[in-house]
Amino acid sequence: MIRAPAAAAASTRPAVAQTPEAGDDPCTRCGACCAAFRVDFHVSELGAEGRPGVPPALTVPVTPRLVRMRGTDAAEPRCVALVGQIGWGAKCGIYTDRPSPCRDFAPYAPLGIGDAGCARARRRHGLPPLTPGGNPESGKSRPDGPGRGR
């Protein structure tokens, strides 16, 4: 289970890959991690009127101090904020306001350097592990045309 209070996460978060404008990187268009793990985090990361953060409507309470992204507790998890098809143009609908577990997960994946959790999530969806310096082919066909794997 991925859990990290905001205060602890902020001090350990690398300054890598914090924006989706990283170009054609395999991480910010993959989405496998968004459909593989439970995402729990501290209520202090919830947004409120005039304050950025995770929209409360996208979460469910776990304890008085802990919330979970909707959809990540299912037998086949898929975060409610995930938009698109896994492996093809998938993206986080709340990327700039995503919770700390998502910010901290596989921080170097946009550079093509996945970790064990990233590889496990990608494998669950039939995708190969990330490889530095390349966009691995998934072996799947693009949804809009045959034979164009990513």
With respect to residue 145, please indicate whether it lies within any of the assigned structural domains. Answer: no
Q: What percent of the chain has pLDDT over 90?
A: 51
- pLDDT score recorded for residue 109: 80
Distance CA 19, CA 118 (A): 18
Domain-located, residue 50: yes
Asked whether residue 147 is domain-assigned, the answer is: no
Q: What is the pLDDT of residue 25?
A: 65
Position 133 scores a pLDDT of: 60
Residue 135 covered by a domain: no
Asked if 99 and 41 count as a contact pair (C-beta separation under 8 A), the reply is yes
In a domain, 106, yes or no: yes
Kindly give the confidence (pLDDT) of every residue in the chain, 150 residues in length, as a single tens digit, with 9 standing for 90 and above: 444 444 444 434 333 334 444 456 677 789 999 999 999 999 999 998 888 999 999 999 999 999 999 999 999 999 999 999 998 889 999 999 999 999 998 888 877 788 899 999 999 999 998 877 654 444 343 343 333 333
Q: Is residue 104 part of a domain?
A: yes
Q: How many domains does the chain have?
A: 1
Q: Establish if 87 belongs to a structural domain.
A: yes
CA angle 47, 48, 53 (to 5 degrees): 15
Judge whether 118 lies within some domain.
Answer: yes
pLDDT at residue 134 in the model: 52
The domain in which residue 103 lies consists of 23-124
The answer to whether the beta carbons of residues 37 and 78 sit under 8 Å apart is no
